[in-house]
Amino acid sequence: MSLSQYDRVAFDFAGRELVGDAVNYHPAADVNGPDGLLVVDVDGERYRVAESQAEQLDR
């Protein structure tokens, strides 16, 4: 996967559903497991979330 596949994504963070823009992507590595990590900007705050836990939203 790559960042180009993502635009707006939704994900759960501490029981809240957050929505933001994917701004960076880190490929999967042995330590992270099979998922890559997305860096998502939510109102100026950056969150890292596993690909499997992020839902791509339609525009």
- Cα 35 to chain centroid, rounded: 10
Going by C-alpha positions, the residue among 23, 30, 31 that lies closest to residue 54 is 23
Quick check: 3 pLDDT over 90?
Answer: no
- Note the pLDDT tens digit of each residue in 4-44: 778 899 999 999 999 999 999 988 766 656 788 999 999 99
DSSP state of 53: G
Q: Residue 5 domain-assigned?
A: yes
Tell me what pLDDT residue 27 has.
Answer: 84
29, amino acid identity: A
Whole-structure pTM value: 0.81
Number of domains in the chain: 1
Q: Is residue 30 part of a domain?
A: no
The answer to whether position 29 is within a domain reads no
The residue segments making up the domain with residue 48 are 1-23+36-58
Do 42 and 26 touch, CB atoms closer than 8 A? no
Q: Identify whether 28 is part of a domain.
A: no
